[in-house]
Structure 1
Amino acid sequence: MGSCGVDYLASVAAYPRPDEKLRTEKLETQGGGNCANALTAAARLGLSPALVTKIGGDGLGDGILTELHADGIDTQHVLRAPGHPSPFTYIIVDRQGGTRTCIHTPGAPLDPEEMGGGLLASALQGAALVYFDGRLTEAALLLAREARARGIPVLVEAERLRPGLEALLAEADFVVTSAHFPQDWTGEAHLADAVLATAERLPRAAWVITTLGTGGAVLLERPGAGDAAASAPERTLAEVLEGELRPALAAAAAAAGAGTVCVARTGQAIGGGHVASTSGPVRLRYSSSRDPAQAAAQAHAAGERAAALNADSGRGASYSGAGAGTGVAATATAAAVAPGVTAQVTLASIAQLPKEAVVDTTGAGDAFIGSVLYGICTGMRLPDIMRLAAVVAAAKCTQLGARPGLPARSQLTCELLGC
């Protein structure tokens, strides 16, 4: 459940300066929205996903549904808002700087009351997993809690600070975050400490994955019943990542051949990445330079910045979650008593793709999450899920926009898919 809309993508040679005019190199109109993109990736891998969202009753909305149907996504739970436009986003892709700039216009809000009338039960019928992209949080909370009551696992994406996201994350069995979310949410100065603090704030989550851009992705997986967690060695997360796992990835890359595991729609060959894990659970602790009070102040500032960027100034606390009872201040107090998390740590590299083959990173995170959805629903091992997700995200980056580059199942090797 989450966002769905239209993307207007303009590729330019270089990002314009203020008050400057320039011509686009390429202009495309495509379906967009984090949730819709992720479900498209999952559908092309072989799942049969259903989307719960709300779009306008306009022609854009008709086009959105047509595109989703073409990829095999069930849209019977997509609500329409007569007289309202569908959500859309302007995206400027800067070829020279390798950046993308997004300006989003939301559509009509989804009222929690609209989730009644049997929609909750109908949407969850036969579901193996429920995914939320962090938007439409009030209505999403109703669906998440109903899913939990029915024993259906919940995955929540934390791409950026959003109002109400803290409460939705508290319902999650699985969490995937962007590279910058942990530091914004927790205020921790060091990324490793921020990833650890994020997992600590989510005790219900069995695992948390944080994507790291060109640095790959890191997974913290809590031990299951019977795992030898009590005798786990104690180390900082930074020590584990930089002192053990990243050297192991480098050694694996040096020893492995350059095999192709995917051929992108452009014909570009993509090689699989590598995965390294600790031999078992590790008692992860924070770095000695950590300052909880400073982290709380930084998290508050990040919340205020997020609110301002969403034309919602003055409501920073609702973005940072500081007033939700499980916010930064409460976490800092708890951490002083029992700091850290015991977890097995896995680090995955990015897939092997020449830099010159990267056209656009828009939707790479959605491609990653769509692969995670596929992996969970088909019972893949977590390290294998991360390797698949890296390849699908790389394939996406070979074309402009979030969906054209998403690979079909036939473009991937059976070994990579776990079949």
Structure 2
Amino acid sequence: MKHLILIGACYLDTILSVPHYPEEDEKLRASTLTIRRGGNCPNSLEVLQQLVQPQDAIRMYLISPLPSKSSPAAQRIKASFGESSPVSLEHSLYRETYTEAASSYIIRSEHSGSRTLVNYNDLPEMTVAEFEAIVQRFSPDDETWWHFEGRIPHTTLKCVRTLRDKLPNAQVSIEVEKPGRDGLRELAAEANVVFYSKSWAENSGHGSAESCLMSEKQQKASLAFCTWGADGAAMCQLAKQQVVHCPVESRAKSDTVVDSVGAGDTFIAGMLYSLVCRNKTWHVSHGLSFAVHLATTKVQREGFQGLGADVHDWLVGNAS
């Protein structure tokens, strides 16, 4: 049995769709309002649970600070994964004196397809001691993959080093997303696999995904990926210093962007599925094509529902 553990914040998202992004002090009527569970790692798990097949023999976990287990917010988050979900919250951290979940307010422009996010999170972050206690529940013989959202880098770095000490065979991936966040390069240096976002790369002076992958130095990583919006994504097999670019299908480029919220999380879900569940049957370049196709399919719909069904042909084959 494999274990895939994702560590990151869990939000309740309030999404307002508006005709265009409002000017300061402008009054604007929203066309739709949607409230759903969000956060980078929960979004990736929402997609992963649609991809995983029984033969993959994998357990998936979310580790995130959550409000009191009895609170309506916590119950809503748990229910959002579905009754038969393979995603476990058993290692999540319930803050019993808090009743409200972390919140994200998203304004999505129908004109441009862009979205602007404002987050509020009053829940105490995970501590290194709490993470160490979770790690001790796994055996060094377990096949584990730990994926970290690149938050609170100083603490996360200590958590990764704890993994290296306690579970030396564990695989570690890191998401490097938020521009200007101190400590992300140090985190990337400790990972086996690194995911860079376009916004982080551009803020760091890179004009393309390929430039980011060739310029950034990862000490322990074997693979690095960088998404680039409508231009697809690229990967670098670091031992060979070989960069492969996967564009968005030309037909898909002309399709309307409906909902870009979570596109990067969907790409990461596709790559984690490829690397953890199909590592023996899919070449990593095939996994890259799958992840780009999956993320492209996602932005053409509201939310994440039905993604697994729409990529069924990829999942039933063993193409390499």
Common fold: TM-score over 0.5: yes
User: Which one-letter code corresponds to 1:98 in the other structure?
Assistant: G
Match of 2:236 in 1: 220
Matches within 5 A, 1:11-26: 11-26=17-32
Listed one character per residue, the Cα deviations across residues 279-313 of structure 1 (whole Å, up to 9, x for unaligned) are xx4xxxxxxxxxxxxxxxxxxxxxxxxxxxxxxxx
Residue 362 of structure 1 pairs with residue 261 of structure 2: yes
Match of 1:350 in 2: 248
The range that moved more, 208-217 or 77-86, is 77-86
Which of 58, 66, 69 does residue 55 from structure 1 map onto? 66
Q: Which of the two has higher C-alpha Rg? A: 1
Whether contact under 8 Å (2:194, 2:223) holds in the other structure is: yes
CA distance in 2, matches of 1:399, 1:64: 22
TM-fit CA distance, 1:29: 0.5
TM-fit CA distance, 1:36: 1.0
CA distance in 2, matches of 1:190, 1:358: 22
Matches within 5 A, 1:136-285: 136-149=152-165, 150=167, 151-161=169-179, 162-185=181-204, 187-188=205-206, 192-198=210-216, 201-223=217-239, 281=240
Indicate how the Cα distance of structure 1 residues 415 and 30 shifts in structure 2: closer, same or farther if over 3 A, else same.
Answer: closer
Which of 73, 86, 103 does residue 118 from structure 2 map onto? 103
Listed one character per residue, the Cα deviations across residues 98-120 of structure 1 (whole Å, up to 9, x for unaligned) are 2101001123122223224x312
CA distance in 2, matches of 1:416, 1:93: 35
Residue 81 of structure 1 pairs with residue 95 of structure 2: yes
- The alignment of Structure 1 onto Structure 2 pairs a total of residues equal to 295
Which of 9, 23, 26 does residue 15 from structure 2 map onto? 9
Whether contact under 8 Å (2:210, 2:243) holds in the other structure is: no
**What is the TM-score when the length of structure 2 is the normalising length?**
0.84
CA distance in 1, matches of 2:300, 2:159: 35
Indicate how the Cα distance of structure 1 residues 48 and 40 shifts in structure 2: closer, same or farther if over 3 A, else same.
Answer: farther
Cα RMSD between the aligned structures?
2.4
Whether contact under 8 Å (2:128, 2:159) holds in the other structure is: no
User: Which one-letter code corresponds to 1:170 in the other structure?
Assistant: A
Gaps of 5+ in 1: 224-280, 282-342
CA distance in 2, matches of 1:39, 1:76: 15
Indicate how the Cα distance of structure 1 residues 192 and 346 shifts in structure 2: closer, same or farther if over 3 A, else same.
Answer: closer
Whether contact under 8 Å (1:182, 1:195) holds in the other structure is: no
Match of 1:30 in 2: 36
CA distance in 2, matches of 1:31, 1:5: 6
Whether contact under 8 Å (1:34, 1:133) holds in the other structure is: yes
TM-fit CA distance, 1:139: 4.2
Match of 1:115 in 2: 131
Identity, % of aligned positions: 25
Match of 2:4 in 1: none
User: Which one-letter code corresponds to 2:91 in the other structure?
Assistant: H
TM-fit CA distance, 1:127: 4.2
CA distance in 2, matches of 1:207, 1:417: 24
Indicate how the Cα distance of structure 1 residues 143 and 190 shifts in structure 2: closer, same or farther if over 3 A, else same.
Answer: closer
**What is the TM-score when the length of structure 1 is the normalising length?**
0.65
The range that moved more, 170-179 or 56-65, is 56-65
Indicate how the Cα distance of structure 1 residues 413 and 124 shifts in structure 2: closer, same or farther if over 3 A, else same.
Answer: farther
Which of 117, 134, 138 does residue 150 from structure 2 map onto? 134
Listed one character per residue, the Cα deviations across residues 18-53 of structure 1 (whole Å, up to 9, x for unaligned) are 111121111111110001111221221105311111
Whether contact under 8 Å (1:112, 1:138) holds in the other structure is: no
Gaps of 5+ in 2: 1-6, 53-57
| Helix, strand or coil at the partner of 2:81 | helix
Listed one character per residue, the Cα deviations across residues 357-409 of structure 1 (whole Å, up to 9, x for unaligned) are 420111000000001110001212111111110121122112234x335x125
Match of 1:41 in 2: 47
Match of 1:389 in 2: 291
Indicate how the Cα distance of structure 1 residues 216 and 52 shifts in structure 2: closer, same or farther if over 3 A, else same.
Answer: same
TM-fit CA distance, 1:203: 2.5
CA distance in 2, matches of 1:50, 1:124: 16
Indicate how the Cα distance of structure 1 residues 165 and 416 shifts in structure 2: closer, same or farther if over 3 A, else same.
Answer: farther
CA distance in 2, matches of 1:417, 1:52: 31
Indicate how the Cα distance of structure 1 residues 367 and 115 shifts in structure 2: closer, same or farther if over 3 A, else same.
Answer: same
Whether contact under 8 Å (1:183, 1:191) holds in the other structure is: no
Whether contact under 8 Å (2:209, 2:233) holds in the other structure is: no
